[in-house]
A and B are shown apart, each in its own frame.
Chain A
Amino acid sequence: MTTITEGSLGAAVTTDQAALDAVRKAKQKDIVLATGGMIVMAIAMTLLLTLIGDLVIRGAARIDYGFLTSYPSRLPERAGVLSAWVGSLLVMLVTAFLAIPIGIGAGLYLEEYARKGWLSNLIEINVSNLAGVPSIIYGLLALGLFVYGFSLGKTILVAGMTLALLILPIVIVSTREAVRAIPRIIKEGAYGLGADQWQVMWNYIIPAARPGILTGAIVGLSRAIGETAPIITIGALTFIAFLPPPPVTGEFPFISFAWLNDGFTVLPIQMFNWVSRPQEGFHTAAAATGVVLIALTFSLNGIAIWIRYRLRKGYRN
């Protein structure tokens, strides 16, 4: 067996020594690159896991039913994050309701309908740049415009609007990328059957782009849920011992929007507040809050992965 390889195949391949050396060199480069990549990845993962692990070790024990259902307190052992996680969820609700439809609409318009020209180029550059603007700038904008300009106050609505602005570029850019990734021949095939632009958009482009669009939306929301600076800038309170009025009521029309105009706090602010306290007990509470925040972010991502998986399966059949 070995003879055959050496005699026929081997001889045919190895006649040129220079080519052989080149191949060997290329292979060595591959190995170097792969090893280097693995080391870098290992360092990054270790750091990340250490941070999370440290947080969990210090905070996990503090998390119990009471921690999740109590308001903050002067006494570290009695303090809880009820108002913070409810606040985080409500703010996220507003953010999602604003940023996702507007972002998707803008992305689809820019990619499919807008005339390509200097104006659309300018908008594209600006949208991409906006994604990199420090979040505190958005906070200042919201403070000037929403809180003082529109006199909306330091409410859940304003926080949701601020974070929606913050993640809008992320949603727009990922929508455009998802649409752009659809093969041209699929679009042409649909147009070739006599579909008009609306039909192509609704029946072919949006279904095919849905996983990508959803990923962008979730990445945006994951970023928004951890944002602290813009929320502090618009003046979120750090000590909230009440819950906003519930969105669902017992009387007609059963849905209430009063909570939108309520004061609030969110998990990262609660955490920030406790970290700056001198008592050791509050530091533990802060770590526990961090764990809750991470768990919330992970479950958000988990839901996204699950929906994406379902969509992919559904769409193919």
Chain B
Amino acid sequence: MTDTTTTLDQETRHQAAPGFERAEMPPAIRPATERDPLRARIEDFSFYYSNGFQAIKHVDMPILDRKITAIIGPSGCGKSTLLRSLNRMHDLYPGNRYEGKVILEPEGENLIGPDADPVLVRLRVGMVFQKPNPFPKSIYENVAAGLRVRGIKKRAVIDEAVESALRRAAIWDEVKDKLHGSAYDLSGGQQQRLCIARGLAPNPEILLLDEPTSALDPIATAKVEDLVQELSETVTIVIVTHNMQQASRISHRTAFMYLGEAMEFGETNQIFTNPRHPRTENYITGRYG
């Protein structure tokens, strides 16, 4: 079983993941051979910060539709940088530069192409940040923010979207009686779920989560993890995490990044039980990172 997979991988590696060749990959990389439909393809992607530092080096990675893709790796490996590239957050600061392609399927649109408008990209690819960052407004207005940005004004439409997003984010029961109270009165864990609701409300095609639980206590973390797993039935999720247990618990695919390169990508189970790259093994067994 394992042998056949490996053989298949070796055969398809060249078409599917050209970037890995440059990175002196061992023959064990598992590229996008899965039959699951793709939501996005990252192809030969590099990223340079304005000071010239190349934070991402020729990364190739498939992002499966309605699955959770986790990106793990030691601090400074570029995992957050990669995630923030997917909705063009780097465009907020001058001088940053992308190379390669991030193709959004099924249309085949290149999100980092010269004529892709970062604002339009962000309308399709939502983001939840490391620290809960609710706006200094009411809970209702926080969730409605993404709709208002899209010019939706009808009260009934917004009401419905707010409730639906809060329900999907599993926080409706906790906030339904204080929708017009300040979002700052919620606990940290609730705030983060509110931020997830805010990201969900406009129905993004992909939701990016940048270490969403690193500022939360274990109970709040568990709630967010449950939520993310439930959400993956309806929305494509890419999550960056420092917490390897978290990646192994909730994700379907895992990418291991090291010094700006994607060292290994595969089914989460395989990455954690049978890593093929020695660096991956070192990392998940806790030898560094």
Residues of A within 8 A of B (CB): 115-116, 183, 185-196, 199, 203-204, 208, 315-317
B124 (CB) vs chain A CBs: closest residue:
A194
Q: Which of A189, A203, A316, A317 contacts B195 (CB 8 A)?
A: A189
Report A-chain residues with C-beta under 8 Å of the C-beta of B138.
Answer: 317
B119–A196 CB distance below 8 A: yes
Q: Please name 30 pairs of A and B residues whose Cβ atoms are closer than 8 Å in the assembled complex, sorted by A.
A: A183-B133, A185-B133, A186-B133, A186-B136, A187-B92, A188-B129, A188-B133, A189-B133, A189-B198, A190-B135, A190-B145, A190-B149, A191-B92, A191-B122, A192-B122, A192-B126, A192-B129, A193-B122, A193-B198, A193-B199, A194-B122, A199-B149, A208-B136, A316-B136, A316-B137, A316-B182, A316-B184, A317-B137, A317-B180, A317-B181
In the complex, the chain A residue whose C-beta lies closest to that of B141 is A317
Closest beta carbon of chain B to A243's beta carbon, Å: 45
Residues A317 and B87 in contact in the complex (CB < 8 Å), given A191-B122, A192-B129, A193-B199: no
- For residue A115, give the distance in angstroms from its CB to the closest CB of chain B: 7
B185: min CB distance to chain A, Å: 9
Bound-state CA distance A191–B133 (Å) is: 12
Given contacts A115-B94, A188-B92, A204-B135, contact A194 B149 (CB under 8 A): yes
B128 to A, closest residue via Cβ: A192
A199 to B150, CA, bound (A): 10
Q: Are B135 and A186 in contact (CB under 8 A)?
A: yes
A194 x B195 contact (CB < 8 A) = no
Determine how close the nearest CB of chain B comes to the CB of A271; give it in whole angstroms: 44
Residue of B nearest to A115 (CB): B94
What is the interface residue range for chain B against chain A?
20 to 34
Indicate with 1 or 0, residue by residue over B133-176, a CB within 8 angstroms of chain A CB atoms: 11111100000011011100000000000000000000000000
Q: How far is the CA of A316 from the CA of B181 in the complex (A)?
A: 9
Docked complex Cα distance between A203 and B144 (Å):
13
The answer, among B119, B134, B180, for a CB contact under 8 Å with A194, is B119
Residues from chain B with Cβ under 8 Å of A185 in the complex:
129, 131, 133
**In this complex, which of A187, A189, A190, A208 has the most chain B Cβ atoms within 10 angstroms of its Cβ?**
A189
Chain A residues whose C-beta falls within 8 Å of the C-beta of B127 in the assembled complex: 192
Contact between B89 and A193, CB atoms less than 8 A apart: no
Q: How far is the CA of A204 from the CA of B145 in the complex (A)?
A: 10
Cα(A317)–Cα(B135), bound, Å: 10
Contacts of A116 in B (CB 8 A): 94
Q: Apart from A192-B199, A193-B145, A195-B119, what are 4 other A-B pairs with CB-CB below 8 Å?
A: A115-B94, A189-B195, A192-B129, A193-B202
Partner pick for B149 among A187, A193, A316, CB 8 A cutoff: A193
Asked if B120 is an interface residue, CB under 8 A from chain A, the answer is yes
> A316: which B residues are within 8 A, CB to CB?
136-137, 182, 184
Specify which chain B residues have a CB less than 8 angstroms from the CB of A204 in the assembled complex. 135
The answer for the CA separation of A188 and B89 in the assembled complex, in Å, is 8
| Closest chain A residue to B120, Cβ basis | A194
In Å, the complex CA distance between A80 and B258 comes to 80
Chain A nearest CB, measured from B254 CB (Å): 24
Please judge, given known A-B contacts A183-B133, A186-B133, A199-B149, whether A193 and B126 are in contact too, CB under 8 Å: yes
Q: How many Å lie between the Cα of A134 and that of B251 in the bound state?
A: 65
CB < 8 Å neighbour of A193 from B92, B120, B146? B146
The yes or no answer to B123 lying at the interface (CB within 8 A) is: yes
Complex formed: what's the CA distance from A115 to B50 in Å? 14
Chain B residues near A191 (CB, 8 Å)? 89, 92, 122
Return chain A residues, CB-CB under 8 Å to B202.
193-194
Write the chain A residue with the least CB distance to B180: A317
Contacts of A193 in B (CB 8 A): 122, 126, 145-146, 149, 198-199, 202
Chain A residue nearest to B88 (CB atoms) is: A191
Determine whether the beta carbon of B89 is less than 8 Å from that of A192.
yes
Query: In the bound complex, how far is the Cα of B129 from the Cα of A183, in angstroms?
Result: 13
Are A194 and B131 closer than 8 Å at their CB atoms?
Answer: no
Nearest first, the 5 A-B pairs at minimum CB distance are: A194-B123, A192-B127, A185-B133, A194-B122, A193-B146
**Residues of the A chain whose Cβ atoms lie less than 8 Å from the Cβ of B150:** 194
Q: Is the CB of A315 within 8 A of B136?
A: yes
- Is A203 a contact of B148 with CB atoms below 8 Å? yes
A195 touches B136 (CB 8 A): no
Contacts of A192 in B (CB 8 A): 87, 89, 122, 126-127, 129, 199
Q: How far is the CB of A149 from chain B (nearest CB, A)?
A: 39
- A196 — which chain B residues lie within 8 A by C-beta? 119
A315 to B131, CA, bound (A): 21
CB distance from A206 to the nearest CB of B (A): 13
**In the complex, A231→B133 CA distance in Å?**
48
